[in-house]
Amino acid sequence: MTSSQMTGRLPMLVARIERWPIAGAFTISRGAKTEAVTVVAEISRGGHAGRGECVPYPRYGETVEATLAAIEAMREPFAGGLDREGLQALMPPGAARNALDCALLALEAKTAGQRAWDLLGRPAPAPCVTAYTISLGTPEAMAAATARVAQRGLLKIKLGGDGDGMRIAAVRAAAPECELIVDANEAWTADNLEPNLAACAAAGVTLVEQPLPAGKDEALAQIRRPIAVCADESVHDRKSLAGLRDRYDAVNIKLDKTGGLTEAMAMADAAQALGFQIMVGCMVATSLSMAPAMLLTPQARFVDLDGPLLLVRDRDDGLRYESSLIYPPEAALWG
């Protein structure tokens, strides 16, 4: 990048794929992975640059290569003056738009000499408790993993269907004082829904996330839910909220689903108006993915932004974590 490009009036867009090794393996009901593959977009203008990071998710039909191509295809629209409002109309929700939306917001904040939350008129995020994820495994392996982090205030337990009652009981025995939330990642069925919910309730679980497959979750409206149930794969942006009111008590807002912080903030406001509790979630990624989501934490009952803690290393100027506390980003990272 030359100095003339950096100081020119027209925005310059570059994008790249990054690979970040995971400490051990991250296992959910759909499989395991040993690295986080992210796509980073950087937009430069007038001597300032803003970055955004996204995680393409195969569950939603996304690939790393297609996401990178979708971002790079926006060079001409940005050169023509495309702004965040125009971006929402031009691109669908998803990972590619998330990286661009967050990069634009960071650039706007730097150009204005303000923090992103002040620029947007939102409350400044404060240090808050984030969940820490326990991967799916045998009851014994999950109990051992839980015991090593039992001092944390909030644990998110990955479950996977058969045997989940034994898994959650073993986890609770290993961490008797922790608040527990559960993520089944669509692995339960209408037949085992009620027994598994009962097992979670008996273990003192506070919230169960996406127990049934998206589009096949009608049974949630037909039972008495003993604990709160949160939509994840069933909810993406504001358009998907209204149809979930009889099935879910909470919604998990992830920037890679909403297509960026712009839609995520509007979705959080709409979800609160409909009476949903809010969970702020993430994919496994670096602090650059977590930082914009911190603006949603003042509205959230549950914060799950532990992605960098699952990596071998985070990027420079990463978020500050102290045990279960996560702190707002410094301007050197984002916003």
Active-site residue list: 158, 254
Burial environment of residue 34 by CB neighbours within 10 A (0 to 12, 13 to 18, 19 or more): exposed
Say if residues 309 and 61 touch (Cβ distance below 8 Å). no
Q: Residue 275's closest CA among 312, 314, 245?
A: 245
Give the per-residue SS3 of the chain: CCHHHHHCCCCEEEEEEEEEEEEEEEEECCEEEEEEEEEEEEEEECCEEEEEEECCCHHHCCCHHHHHHHHHCCHHHHHCCCCHHHHHHHCCCCHHHHHHHHHHHHHHHHHHCCCHHHHHCCCCCCCEECCEEECCCCHHHHHHHHHHCCCCCEEEEECCCCCHHHHHHHHHHHCCCCEEEEECCCCCCCCCHHHHHHHHHHCCCCEEECCCCCCCCHHHHCCCCCCEEEECCCCCCHHHCHHHCCCCCEEEECHHHHCCHHHHHHHHHHHHHCCCEEEECCCCCCHHHHHHHHHHHHHCCEECCCHHHHECCCCCCCCCEECCEECCCCCCCCC
- φ/ψ of residue 243, rounded to 5: -75, 0
Burial environment of residue 16 by CB neighbours within 10 A (0 to 12, 13 to 18, 19 or more): exposed
